[in-house]
Chains A and B, each alone.
Chain A
């Protein structure tokens, strides 16, 4: 008898049971894939560092001059447990050309945005991983490319490039695109491509080639080693102390991972909300039958058992299907979003998904148990009366129709329903609100990164154009600032001859060891100095710009690290001893993980410590930036002339593209979720409202009007949810998104929200897609038979 009732129930209430099954499936899929992704992403960077064997310390230096000194220091240091020296040669633009590019057949020029070295595949430290597959083995004529460099040049597997060094010129086919843990991020201005040992040996024989060595060191006492290293004051290109610093280079990827975590948390919330709604709703639908069972003498325990078995069967089937779907869904999210880091696929955390699926079954049964538990309180008659005990209630409708002289009827009905059943529709509103936040929170991060004003957070000043001149590297390697100044002046003259009154400038970077109070505690920082005729002003958090030669401004993050403030002194270790600088202000920077200083234009720094020149900047009088940009492009066809947007994209790297892809992915997911939930909720509610629909049709409402009522209800909820989601996103973004930028070095960044995108485009997209789903679902009103009105309760 028990199973007969169950069988009939499953068969007869097909629609509701299918809806419940679908929601259980969705909940399992969201929960399992989200938890899996949380596990995969949260430890992914550390795991990636471990897998690629990032050393405790590494430094990059020109081979010429320093090799022996550094090597003997490392070899003789008692704290070093393991080390290796990896050799590579630098490539300048003329030495590398594109031979075959599938995505851009006309491309011949290689766009080098970073210092590029060629070396063999690493074996002991700083290992690389293929984007797909497990192993990398290169034969002669084959080359492995890091993803970031390949993307910059639209190169892919199978494309060909040519490398010419001295007399040796060879064509290489890209065999594999790799993830390079240490140098694979846009933060590292140093990139590596890999060739076979055989090919590397051919180039090694060439003279006049600039070689750089990477010294990878593991040690047992990091503090002492670092202190001893600082004291030696070697001239190096770059030094990275510890895995934590390399991990920090993944801040942009962490931004993406953090957004994925936000997405996952929202999906989990949505899963539970819809699940609870559906279970409570389906059980309410069954009140009458429960009452009848009570009336004929079936005990509460028996009734509860019946429903528990039913929900167990549904949840097991739903959870199983959801579990299977969670793997491709989770992997899809991870693959689209996490590009630079090697993360475990969902299958590798199989157990997590199973635990989530079991948890869903448990939750369904718990909801069912607690809902059926309340039936104890009801008599058979109460249950038959759908949970009401016959008492007369206070009027529920809050909006009086007759008082609304102009309100459209369908709109009124929809609004009144929502106000009368806040609990039921509230769940839908919260779900839509979460969906809106799912879009707007990442969007605020994306908009902020894409806004031109972000340049101010990179310790730079906004200008009309930014010129990437191949000579800049030469100035750095020759320690030739006067050459740079002359170049800037020449540039101004050429522009004047072409009818433009322009000022040019550049920011020269120095790597200098410094200390604040205790001379024993030394750190190496990147220090910027503005050069050229262009007088520019930087955005400060506090204080004023450095004017005198011993004045300096410090990043907020470095000030906190060193425990200094405005008015305090910082000592730079120069070749002729320490030199004191007074802090006049603080600023924030996304450069170098928020660390660094900026000195005045008149400060005298050791040219030996020059580490880089970011770019040349030009500001033209009486011309709009876009006009200046186009004109300068014409005047200097051989230079790489960029506007603010292009320059930001260059320094932020592929993250902007990744964020765009992630936004697209999140938008598609949100739209699918919105549509699915709209359809399922509408089906659920329409099943309960068949009587109301039949009544309206019987009194002469045509299908179109009834449909309009059903659709309006969803759209009103969505509109309110969008407004609430937008307000909440704006309120919460400083607490959720700003700290992510804070990790990157700018914790007082002003978040930007593009009003057109955030307040028009995305809400419109949500309204249209959800409205279309509601429209198709509302088509079900046609099927409601008017005669059903007499069989309704």
Chain B
């Protein structure tokens, strides 16, 4: 089943009184349970596409269906509600509120959500469970400044999962991490995906993209092609997937 269906999506910015088309008639679909990666050169419109389809940014024209619901013309409050309860976001900068502890940052969206009937006690339990799964239980009471980048990004993943979203949007989730941390974060994203959460991510990193089910290549605001890698399993040779992807990207002249 399609959980995300994008049709003729256009996004235009006005720069120096001139129209600047960032996205031109983008069409794409993401299946439920899929992990789709968007790749492309700098300035090709990857992040803009991610923000446009997730409702973080307005679109100029076209249509975006999220689980059968047209979200292209939702009011800001409706969009906020959707982001809070049905979507999760992970950013390159691992941004968290500096005045809150890691644990408080994680539970924040759940406390804000009025969707579930859970008590704060139950939310706390779920957050602890998530942190345990991602191996960061020991930093719960730490300040944002006290933990490493990898731990912080895993905490951001916990935050994105706290409201049991239907889909996660990740913008360069490993962009600011070293190789080891990057590996750990991708491991967690893969695990979450296997557990049933749909993921759409933007990346420059071949190693990251190689772990996704499908790669969409975008250039000049348009999707030039897609490459299906299939579901990644732990026993699979990642280098082989990387090689195949690299070849395909070569064909795409990247």
Contact = CB atoms under 8 A, between A and B. Distances in A.
A695 B95 contact: yes
A303 interface: no
Q: Which of A401, A700, A786 has the most CB of B within 10 A?
A: A700
Q: Which of B82, B85, B101, B160 has the most CB of A within 10 A?
A: B101
A416 B56 contact: no
Interface stretch (B34-42, B61-69, B109-117, B237-245): B109-117
Interface string B161-192: 00100000001100000000000000000000
Given A395-B143, A691-B95, A692-B97, A787 B57 contact: yes
B143 A397 contact: yes
A632 to B, nearest CB: 65
Given A397-B104, A703-B76, A787-B56, A792 B109 contact: no
Contacts of B85: 700
Contacts of A782: 76
A110 to B, nearest CB: 67
B99 A420 contact: yes
Contacts of B89: 698-699
A704 B146 CA distance: 31
Contacts of B60: none
A735 B112 CA distance: 49
Contacts of B84: 699-701
Contacts of B194: none
Interface string A459-485: 000000000000000000000000000
A699 B109 contact: yes
B217 interface: no
B124 interface: yes
B211 interface: no
A702 interface: yes
B206 to A, nearest CB: 21
A394 B143 contact: yes
B112 A701 contact: yes
Contacts of B121: 405
B99 A416 contact: yes
Nearest to B85: A700
A395 B141 contact: yes
A219 to B, nearest CB: 73
A400 B57 CA distance: 33
A509 B82 CA distance: 84
Contacts of A699: 83-84, 89, 108-109, 112, 159-160
Interface residues of B, number: 47
A698 B93 contact: no
Contacts of A388: 145
Contacts of B76: 702-703, 782
B40 to A, nearest CB: 16
A400 B143 contact: no
B98 A396 contact: yes
A397 B81 contact: no
Contacts of A397: 99-101, 104, 143
Contacts of A789: 91, 93, 95
A417 interface: yes
B110 to A, nearest CB: 10
A760 B124 CA distance: 40
A392 B95 CA distance: 16
B247 interface: no
Contacts, number: 118
Interface in B28-81: 47, 51, 56-57, 76-77, 80-81
Contact of B108 (A392, A409, A417, A790): A409
A697 B108 CA distance: 12
A705 interface: yes
A388 B144 CA distance: 14
Contact of B77 (A413, A417, A704): A704
Contacts of A396: 98-99, 143
A402 B81 contact: no
A140 interface: no
Contacts of A421: 99
B125 to A, nearest CB: 10
B87 to A, nearest CB: 8
Q: Which of A404, A699, A703 has the most CB of B within 10 A?
A: A699
Given A396-B143, A789-B93, A698 B120 contact: no
A700 B83 CA distance: 5
A402 B120 contact: yes
A402 B80 contact: no
Nearest to A695: B95
Interface residues of A, number: 39
B108 to A, nearest CB: 7
B80 A786 contact: no
Nearest to B102: A395
Interface in A751-793: 782, 785-787, 789-790, 792
B164 to A, nearest CB: 13
Nearest to A703: B76
B92 interface: yes
Nearest to B55: A786
Q: Which of A400, A405, A702, A792 has the most CB of B within 10 A?
A: A702
A705 B112 contact: yes
A786 B112 CA distance: 18
Q: Which of A397, A400, A417, A691 has the most CB of B within 10 A?
A: A397
Nearest to B99: A420
Contacts of A420: 98-99
B209 interface: no
A505 B53 CA distance: 90
Contacts of A395: 101, 141-143, 146
Contacts of A416: 99-100
B107 A401 contact: yes
B8 to A, nearest CB: 22
A261 to B, nearest CB: 40
Interface string A689-728: 0011011111111111100000000000000000000000
Contacts of B77: 702-704
B82 to A, nearest CB: 8
Contacts of A698: 56, 83, 89, 91
Interface string B133-149: 00000000111011000
Contacts of B229: none
Interface in A167-185: none
Nearest to B88: A699
B56 to A, nearest CB: 4
A782 B79 CA distance: 13
A695 to B, nearest CB: 5
Nearest to A782: B76
A702 B81 contact: yes
A695 B107 contact: no
A393 interface: yes
B96 interface: yes
Interface in A384-439: 388, 392-397, 400-402, 404-405, 409, 413, 416-417, 420-421
A318 to B, nearest CB: 31
A785 B84 CA distance: 17
A411 to B, nearest CB: 12
A790 B99 CA distance: 19
Nearest to A419: B99
Contacts of B81: 700, 702
Contacts of A787: 47, 51, 56-57
A192 B108 CA distance: 75
A416 B87 CA distance: 27
A702 B80 contact: yes
Contact of A409 (B99, B111, B160, B163): B111
17 contacts: A388-B145, A392-B146, A400-B103, A402-B104, A409-B108, A409-B111, A420-B98, A692-B98, A699-B84, A699-B159, A700-B81, A701-B84, A703-B80, A704-B77, A782-B76, A787-B51, A787-B56
Given A700-B83, A786-B51, 5 more contacts: A397-B99, A405-B119, A409-B108, A705-B112, A790-B171
Query: Which 10 A-B pairs rank lowest in CB-CB distance, beginning with the nearest?
Result: A700-B84, A702-B80, A395-B143, A401-B104, A700-B83, A420-B99, A786-B56, A699-B109, A392-B146, A393-B145
